[in-house]
Structure 1
């Protein structure tokens, strides 16, 4: 007759498939009494070898792990075990969940590769693209200050305009409407800010 916890073990194995196996052990007989999505070549009735739990420190009431294990083929596992007691407080069964770390470690390496520093844009392609420079300078500025563009103060915009002017953005043809959109201000407001940033009057370019 299947153990009363068989549906629970089956549900856990189905949820984590194919990355986990679930095993029920008899702590008195020290043998496997149920196994779902088995990783290794073992079956019901095989020795449980639960002595390893005696070497671990509990991480909760009757809970051990996660702790590392390895398979014969070299795969590494993260395991957690729970001792379930009967009405008299004696150990009844031990539930173990073993998760194969292979897929997660592979995914971690892939994500780490994507997160690696990006090689700078080829200068030959972008040296004349002043709008790219505009976007980069504005993005860097708001990111460093952890503030949205629409929350920039007048002083912030003046400081940013000085950077844009030094980078040659403001001297580009039709730069004003593009910069105004980037800073989320009107053209007239931008002309005033530019004049103040340069400390001299500036005539509005009708273009």
Structure 2
């Protein structure tokens, strides 16, 4: 007859497959009652070797782990074990879940590589690319203001144009159409704002 905990073990194994095995032990005979998604090539009837639990500290009532284990091929596991008691309080079974950390550690390495500090743009490639400067200044300005480009006020646009002009963006050939698109305004509106910004530089750019 299957153990009453067998459906629970199978459900947990299905949820964590293929990264974990679930093992149900008989503490009285020190044998494996059942194993689901075996990672360790063990089978029902093999010795449980539950003596290792006596060397661990409980992390909760009748719960041990997570604690580290290893497979013969070198893969590392994170394991948890729970002692299941009967109505009289006697240990009836020990349920262990052993999770193969390989996939998670590899994912962690990939994410860490993506999160590594960027070295910045090579100056030799970008020092003359005024569109990069345009994008950086506009992007930084809207983040600073906390609004989208098309929600900038006239005062905001005057200040931004002053910064772009100071950075030399507006002195570049064919920059006006690009700046107008970036600010979501027409060329004529850009010329009017630029004239005002250059006429009153102290008001437009407090810095």
TM-score, normalising length: structure 2? 0.76
Q: Which has the higher helix share?
A: 2
1:93-172 aligned within 5 A = 93-143=93-143, 147-152=147-152, 156-172=156-172
| 1:50 pairs with 2:68 | no
* CA RMSD of superposed structures (Å): 3.0
Mapped pair 1:183 → 2:183: yes
| Shift, 1:153, TM fit | 5.4
Counterpart in 2 of 1:205? none
- Matched position secondary structure for 1:72: coil
Gaps spanning 5+ residues in structure 1: where?
202-207
1:39 counterpart residue number? 39
**Unaligned 5+ runs, structure 2:** 202-207
Match of 2:3 in 1: 3
* Residues 124 and 73 of structure 1, relative CA distance in 2, 3 Å threshold: same
Q: How far, CA to CA, are the matches of 2:137 and 2:24 in structure 1?
A: 59
Q: Give deviations 1:8-32, integer Å, cap 9, x for gaps.
A: 3223223322211110012233321
Q: Distance in 2 between matches of 1:148 and 1:64?
A: 52
Distance 1:29 1:160, change over 3 A: farther
TM-score by length of 1: 0.76
Matched, 1:80 2:80: yes
| Residues 1:97 and 1:129: Cα distance change in structure 2 (over 3 Å) | same
1:14 alignment partner in structure 2: 14
CA distance in 2, matches of 1:50, 1:143: 58
Quickly say closer, same or farther: Cα 1:87–1:195, change in 2 above 3 A: farther
Deviation for aligned residue 1:191: 4.2
Q: Are residues 91 and 196 of structure 1, via their aligned partners in 2, closer, same or farther at CA, if it must alter by over 3 Å?
A: farther
Q: Distance in 1 between matches of 2:185 and 2:65?
A: 56
Distance, in Å, in 1 between the alignment partners of 2:172 and 2:3 is 77
Q: Structure 1 residue 96: deviation in Å?
A: 1.1
